[in-house]
Amino acid sequence: MSENDKNTEIHTAQTNTEEQANAPKESTDQQAAQQTIAEAGAMPASATTAQEAEAAGRVADPQPTAPPVSSTQADGGARTVEDTPRSERDRTPAEKADAVKVQSDAEAAKAAGVEMTKVTVDGVEVEVPKGTLVIEACFRAGADVPYFCYHPRLTSIGACRMCLVSVELEMFGARRESIFTCCTVPVAEGMAIKTRTPEVKKAQNGMLEFLLANHPLDCPICDRGGECPLQNMTVAYGPPTSRFIEEKRHFPKAYPISDYVVLDRERCIQCMRCTRFCEEISGDGQLALLNRGSSTEIGTFFGHDFTSNFSGNTIEICPVGALLSRTYRFAARPWEISSSDSICSKCGNGCNVALQTRLGELVRVNGRTNEDVNEEWTCDRGKFGNYYVNDESRLKHPLMRRADGALHPASWDEALAAVAERITRTKAEFGADAIAGIGSTRCTVEDNYLFGKMLRALVGTNNLDHRMLPHGFEPMQTTIAEIEHFKTIVSVGMKLDWDQPIVYLRVFKAYSKKGANWIKADVVDNTVTEALRAGGADAVLLLPHHLPQDQIDRAKKLCASTGAKLNVLLPDCNSWGAARAGILPDRLPGLTAFREGRAHLDSFWKTPLPTASGLDSDGIFDAVSAGRVQMLYIMGSDPATRFHDTEKARRALEAAPFVVVQELFLTETAKRADIVLPAASFAEKDGTFFNIEGREQKIKQAMPVKGDARPDWRIVADLMGRLGTPVPYFSARDIYREYNRSIPKAEAVAAR
């Protein structure tokens, strides 16, 4: 039976791992055993005889009488050591992200005081933290090593054998050199790593020829083409010809495994990145390797849907076009795309994403690295849920309710004039408090700030809210990233992977990689109490913002007594931002109380603000029904479907004499409006979101605005001009600067 047990068995109780690390591949067990026995002084008699030495020599080259030609590949012009240095190769975005991650890990380790090890890579000396993988040392040294299965966020498995390099090290009193997969071997002091020896070149040519043997010739119609690691590696390292003339392996092509993901098994190179992702990162284990050997394929359980909320990430880490996005399928070639760094609009976690557009349409949303937030992942809502910005049913013109009672297109001028006129009239007839505003958890800080300023300073009311159900504001006591360090994690009343996907990934990391206890409960009950007591200061409690106030109060007390950290998690992409912008009946920008912020704002906004607290959203809708509020101004919010009491909201919308709505779509709320103003989506404007942690993150315009729509802040600014106070804003940046200055100094610091 077998060899290559050699890797394992070349060791003794005496030899250390470094030595094993460099056991020459060519050596056999016999040799190793001889060596170890000799060293251990185990054998009763006799040194190595000449005959045995000769035998060992033969083993080292088991092919003394090799047939003449040894590589027909060479005839085809296979890559050799003479070829251009590979570091000049252009890398795919994914590869660049990997290198960045490796870099930041190394810096973190260094900062944490990890012992450093010196190695040379192709003659370049580098110092890397102990335990660094050889492949990472190569990256640090600027050398390029081709790889497929290695991924800096997944455990190394050494499956694809693409990353073979030659490693030279002192062992058994001699310097020996042998070939290793550098994604699995940690560095050792004094290692000389060579990425460009003839053996390495031969191995690289060989491995790529193997991988391409059964790979279909699909590149022209493959979505991955142009940003495909397999293509790139082949160009840089592969043989230009293939000697494979047999029939390729066949599987059904383009097989949908969910609404979002399509699988092409013929293209799969069995690198197990996707299955490792499902096992190690998202923890749902929904993709698995099936069958074995050359029939190995990946798949879901008997073809059932891939229902994970993180399935889209597997598309991004797949090094070939085997897992593809159904929404991006045939939508663009990578080089036609323009990509803008932005923030996802689907939840409060605030994934950093790249919005990729072609001809003014959003075609793809990819994850972007931010170690503090989403690492490099996104959830499926983010990856596949942002296409609403392309929707044909988006509002493209202002709409006004005319004499026939129906909404008809209108010009901006007409619509805005009507709104301004109505505001002035209502205020004159019924007083400022007859007007109320509902802001948005999905508009930017800038939009909301200006909206608040208009209602407070120009209209003169505090009837201002954005909440769809009453709740307080508890800033998170830890960051998202810190959650992974807790030993006890208690989550209450949430389906964490769907409600707070990125928080979930951190929790799962703590649970699976760091052995944390994860307790799930429906309400703050005794189980929670006990878990927190047991966890002490090493525990964190995660609550959704919609829990009844008494539960939140109980949790607060509990955490205060046990030392646990409390994180109350908000739902939307800018829930924090709306609050921070001051869209609350009793808070000013920066969440400052009237008492603290009034004086500053009075002078900053150059007008005295109303003194009494306004109505919250419940109060506003009650007041509409009671006839006290005559005009509703709603920006980017849909209370008719999202309010905790939709009946109440709808009744109020119908009862209100005048309703203005700024929206993307003709929502249930917009349908009940008198004037509807079409707004730009998050992909069509610049601005700022505060995620659940209160982290300030910038969104950037990625595509032209649909139709005649305008960014919300621009609509509000226009209106303010018409109300008599022109605002000189040209960009979201101007507003953000003003927003920052609107917060009293001390608070401003806290607000960041």
Partner 1 sequence: MPRFTSETKARIDEIAGRYPDRRSALLPALWVAQEVYDGWLPEEAMQEVADHLGMSRAEVEGVASYYTMYNKEPVGRHHIEICQNISCMILGSDDLIHHCEHRLGVGSGETTDDGMFTLSRVECLGACSNAPAVQIGATYHENVTKERLDTIIEQLKSAPSEVAHPAQAKMPEQGQF
Partner 2 sequence: MHEQHQILYKHRFVEGIKGIDVYRNHGGYEAFRKALTMTPEAIIDEVKLSGLRGRGGAGFPTHIKWASVPKNTDQEHYLIINADEGEPGTAKDRDLMNNLPHLLVEGCLIGMLAIRARKCYIYIRGEYAEPWQNVQRAINEAYRAGFIGKNVLGSGMDFDVYTHLGAGSYECGEESALISSLMGERGMPRLKAPSAPLYTVSGAWQKPTPVNNVETIATVVPIINMGGAEYAKIGYGSPRSRGTKLTSISGHVKKPGVYEITLGTPMREVIYDIAGGIRDGHTLKTYIPGGSSTGFMMPEPLDYPMDYEGVVTAGAMLGLGSGGLIVMDETTPIVPVTKRLVDFYHHESCGKCTPCREGLNWLAKIYDRILAGGGRPQDLDLIWDICDNVRGKSFCGLGEGAIVPVMTSIKYFRDEYMSYIKSGRDLVMV
Ligand X SMILES: Cc1cc2nc3c(=O)[nH]c(=O)nc-3n(C[C@H](O)[C@H](O)[C@H](O)COP(=O)(O)O)c2cc1C
**Residue 734 binds to partner 1 (criterion: CB under 8 A):** no
Size of the site for ligand FES (CB under 6 A): 12
Q: Tell me, what DSSP letter sits at residue 620?
A: H
- Window 2-21: residues binding ligand X (CB under 6 A): 2, 4-5
Q: Tell me, what DSSP letter sits at residue 457?
A: I
Q: How far is the C-alpha of 445 from the C-alpha of 449, rounded, in Å?
A: 6
Structure-block tokens of residue 325: 């996005």
Nearest to 193 by CA among 168, 163, 216: 168
Nearest to 528 by CA among 563, 549, 555: 555
Nearest to 342 by CA among 692, 84, 700: 700
**Residue 158 binds to ligand FES (criterion: CB under 6 A):** yes
**Residue 458 binds to ligand FES (criterion: CB under 6 A):** no
**Residue 391 binds to ligand X (criterion: CB under 6 A):** no
The single residue among 269, 541, 640, 719 that binds ligand SF4, judged by CB under 6 A, is 269
Structure-block tokens of residue 119: 């190695």
What one-letter code names the amino acid at 361?
A: E
The single residue among 15, 132, 156, 286 that binds partner 1, judged by CB under 8 A, is 286
CB of 182 to ligand SF4, least distance (A): 17
The listed partner (ligand SF4, ligand FES, partner 1, none) that binds 147, CB under 5 to 8 Å by sort, is ligand FES
Among 156-164, 239-247, 505-513, 573-581, which window interacts with ligand FES (CB under 6 A)?
A: 156-164
Q: How far is the C-alpha of 209 from the C-alpha of 15, rounded, in Å?
A: 37
The listed partner (ligand FES, partner 1, partner 2, none) that binds 302, CB under 5 to 8 Å by sort, is partner 1
The listed partner (ligand FES, partner 1, partner 2, none) that binds 70, CB under 5 to 8 Å by sort, is partner 2
Among 146-154, 201-209, 249-257, 349-357, which window interacts with ligand FES (CB under 6 A)?
A: 146-154
């601005």: which residue's tokens? 687
CB of 512 to partner 2, least distance (A): 14
CB of 33 to ligand X, least distance (A): 10
**Residue 289 binds to partner 1 (criterion: CB under 8 A):** yes
**Residue 134 binds to ligand FES (criterion: CB under 6 A):** no
Are the CB atoms for 734 and 468 separated by under 8 Å? no
Looking at beta carbons only, is 37 or 746 nearer to partner 2? 37
**Residue 292 binds to partner 1 (criterion: CB under 8 A):** yes
- Window 171-200: residues binding ligand FES (CB under 6 A): 181, 183
Looking at beta carbons only, is 7 or 477 nearer to ligand X? 7
What one-letter code names the amino acid at 319?
A: P
CB of 4 to ligand X, least distance (A): 6
The single residue among 55, 99, 192, 288 that binds partner 1, judged by CB under 8 A, is 288
Looking at beta carbons only, is 285 or 704 nearer to ligand SF4? 285
Q: How far is the C-alpha of 419 from the C-alpha of 413, rounded, in Å?
A: 10
Each residue 103-122 as x (binds ligand SF4 by CB under 6 A) or -, in order, gives: --------------------
**Residue 301 binds to partner 1 (criterion: CB under 8 A):** yes
Question: Virtual CA dihedral for 491, 495, 500, 504, nearest 10 degrees?
Answer: 60
Q: How far is the C-alpha of 584 from the C-alpha of 660, rounded, in Å?
A: 19
CB of 588 to partner 1, least distance (A): 50
CA 688 to chain centre: 18
Strand, helix or coil for residue 693: coil
Q: How far is the C-alpha of 301 from the C-alpha of 722, rounded, in Å?
A: 61
Cα Rg of the chain (Å, integer): 32
CB of 131 to ligand FES, least distance (A): 17
Q: How far is the C-alpha of 625 from the C-alpha of 245, rounded, in Å?
A: 79
Are the CB atoms for 226 and 333 separated by under 8 Å? yes
Pairing of strands 435-438, 464-465: parallel
Size of the site for ligand SF4 (CB under 6 A): 13
Are the CB atoms for 643 and 658 separated by under 8 Å? no
**Residue 42 binds to ligand X (criterion: CB under 6 A):** no
Q: How far is the C-alpha of 486 from the C-alpha of 464, rounded, in Å?
A: 38
Are the CB atoms for 415 and 407 separated by under 8 Å? no
- Give contact residues for ligand FES (rule: CB under 6 A): 147-150, 158-163, 181, 183
**Which residues of the chain form contacts with partner 1 (CB under 8 A)?**
278-279, 284-292, 299-302
Site residues, ligand X (CB under 6 A): 1-2, 4-5
Point out which residues bind ligand SF4 (CB under 6 A): 268-274, 298, 318-320, 322-323
